[in-house]
Homo-oligomer: A and B are copies of this chain.
Amino acid sequence: MSGFPELLPEQQIVFNRSLQIIRETFEAFGFAPIETPSVERKEVLTSKGGEEKEIYAISRMQSQPGEVGETEFALHFDLTVPFARYVAQHKDKLTFPFRRYQIQKVWRGERAQKGRYREFYQCDIDVIGRGSVSLFNDSEIPSIIYKIFDRMDIGAFVIRINNRRLLQGFFEAQGVAHGQIADVLRAVDRLDKTSRDTVFADLTKNLGLSEMQASAIMAMTAQSLPTDELLTQLSNGASYGNATYDQGLAELKTVVAGMRSLGVPEANFVIDPSVARGLGYYTGTVYETKLIDHADLGSICSGGRYEDLASFFTSEKLPGVGISIGLSRLMFALLERGVLPTGAQTVAPVLVTSMDPARMDYYLQTAAQLRSNGVGAEVFFDKKGLGDQLKYASKKGFKLALIAGADEFSTNSFKIKDMRTTTECTCLASDVTETVRQLLAE
């Protein structure tokens, strides 16, 4: 089924490890989990830009013609719209600022093509305020991104940070008409995907900017300097006398200071004035994240600050800041490219072999004892020779194999074969848990 990929166990284990890192990191920063149904009413999904998305509707296969109430549901295509509906619906039961994470599958009826999935995971966090939400949240988010991808061990990456006010103020200072700001932002956003000439032509020919205006915009967004030098250079722009620009710059400085307090290494972030994020609703800080060695994947984690999360569902102003990781697309690519090598087909590290089926009680007890001490263990149940059992241990990727036959029973001991090194050792049966723990800690 094109667009609906599935993984082998050894791949799923790697995938789940990333999911777990993301979950743990979100929770370590005080984000609470929520989960919305996969299904929403169609009018909810199409409320905010959803009409541009390819949405899957659902209907009962056995529905009767003319049946009422069975054609109103569809699968969500992202987590933002359901989250907006959730916050508006439950806001009197939530504590604000509301920090939530949401890791769920979403569906899009895309044409099948390489790297496009019809079902995939998104991993989102947002901080939502009632009326306002502190800028310090903006400075914390890059630290969350950093912690996740650092632990996931997927190679060098850089978080590209910008502020939409900085761009908007600059465009205004160049005399771009208010009604054209959004179009110019969208044009600049394409700098990452197309040639500079194309963007220049877009600005001048399609949007009617003068060559001088377009050149100024191209030069401003092309600035590439170490963070502090760039901030100094951008500060020269304060001479434009544009308050929006000044606010954007001040916000950027706060974000950078916070990131540094939180220990995000300089190598992992950059202020990039060309980052615009095409989506209309971002208003301040914006983020993108790139893998240095896999730039073709585009941004693997993006987001930003917005003025109002749920205007379709409530009149209360709910500003926020958030990011989204498109995990499936990232993981499938990294697995395919061998960046994340697959290994074991089991999460449990120990196989208890069973040379003597008559002593299965003993093998079962040994495994139970290991598990009670936090060590995952499987018992080999089939009647097979030890060679076959060790072949199974090797194939599945167990780290240790425990062996007890006549010799070991007579000396009340266990043989432990380290499958990683193929070395063997023997210990007293009473010491087996402790010995296994030591070997696994190596």
The complex places the Cα of A379 from the Cα of B30 at a distance, in Å, of: 8
The complex places the Cα of A132 from the Cα of B383 at a distance, in Å, of: 11
Partner of A54, one of B5, B41, B54, B62: B62
What is the distance, in angstroms, from A16's C-beta to the closest C-beta of chain B? 5
Residues of B within 8 A of A381 (CB): 97, 134, 136-137
* Those of A48-101 within 8 Å (CB) of chain B: 54-63, 70, 73-75, 86, 90, 93-95, 97, 99-100
Indicate if the CB atoms of A8 and B119 lie closer than 8 Å: no
Query: A32 at interface (Cβ–Cβ under 8 A)?
Result: yes
The complex places the Cα of A174 from the Cα of B63 at a distance, in Å, of: 44
Interface residues in A, total, Cβ within 8 A: 92
Indicate if the CB atoms of A36 and B75 lie closer than 8 Å: no
Query: Which of chain B's residues has its CB closest to A368's CB?
Result: B262
* Those of A316-364 within 8 Å (CB) of chain B: 345-348, 351, 360-362, 364
The complex places the Cα of A129 from the Cα of B395 at a distance, in Å, of: 16
Chain A, 113-124, contact with B by CB distance < 8 Å: what is the 0/1 string?
A: 000001100000
Query: A243 at interface (Cβ–Cβ under 8 A)?
Result: no
Query: A270 at interface (Cβ–Cβ under 8 A)?
Result: no
Query: A297 at interface (Cβ–Cβ under 8 A)?
Result: no
| Interface-facing stretch out of A221-229, A302-310, A370-378 | A370-378
Indicate if the CB atoms of A9 and B32 lie closer than 8 Å: yes
22 CB contacts below 8 A, A to B, read: A5-B37, A6-B36, A6-B86, A7-B34, A7-B35, A9-B100, A27-B376, A30-B347, A32-B347, A38-B119, A39-B107, A54-B61, A54-B62, A56-B61, A57-B61, A58-B58, A59-B59, A61-B74, A99-B346, A134-B381, A136-B360, A136-B364
